[in-house]
Amino acid sequence: MLLLRDDLSIVGQTSASQEWLAMLLPQPGGMAPIPACAYNVAAQLLARQHGVDGHEAMARVHLHDGVWVTLRASRVEPSDLIAVTIEPTSSGDRLDMFSRANGLSSRERELLTLLAQGTATVEAASRMSLSPHTVQDHLKSVFSKTGTHNRRVLLSHALGVRGDAETPPPRNDRLPST
């Protein structure tokens, strides 16, 4: 967590936030990094509170190797401080972001979610009240829209894990604890 005043000056931060911020904006010589995305979500909270913009005070940022983080800003009660939290982006949020970025239809999004849960074609067809052939047609459309050619690569792209056989997926143990 990063604590800011309304003028966006830093009041304090947790050790976990220092690790996240170093990953978001690496600095030479151990300088304290505060990337623009942390200020942006705090500024969005202020804009929302002043009626300028109604969007949620949050942002998702790609770090590396398919690792995404979500930043959110909210007020610390009863003070006037702004808390900016930084946490790994959930797989559901990554699926949603990937689906929207690739223009998937609602049925294609539903299929992608089922595939991410490990659902086989026949089971997906049953859950979606479709024939297995129609599910395959939806899957071909998803492959076309996402530039992928098989389920493994599709899911690796959607969930932020490398899909090539020689490269193991990124280890979560290098992410700071929250």
- Nearest in space to 142 (alpha carbons), one of 178, 173, 106: 106
Domain 92-159 has CATH 1.10.10.10: yes
Return the structure tokens found at 174.
């290098």
DSSP one-letter string for 93-120:
HHHHHHHHHTT--HHHHHHHHHHHTT--
**Interval 18-75: pLDDT, tens:** 777 777 766 666 555 667 788 899 999 999 999 998 899 999 887 776 678 899 999 9
Q: Are 3 and 13 in contact (CB under 8 A)?
A: yes
Return the structure tokens found at 9.
């000056």
Three-state secondary structure string covering 28-50:
HHHCCCCCHHHHHHHHHHHHHHC
pLDDT at 30: 56
Q: Are 178 and 87 in contact (CB under 8 A)?
A: yes
pLDDT at 178: 44
Domain ranges of the chain: 2-89, 92-159
Q: Tell me the average pLDDT across 104-114.
A: 97
**Interval 66-95: pLDDT, tens:** 678 899 999 998 888 999 998 888 989 999
pTM comes to 0.65
Three-state secondary structure string covering 8-32:
CCEEEECHHHHHHHHHHCCCHHHCC
pLDDT at 14: 83
DSSP-assigned letter for residue 168:
P
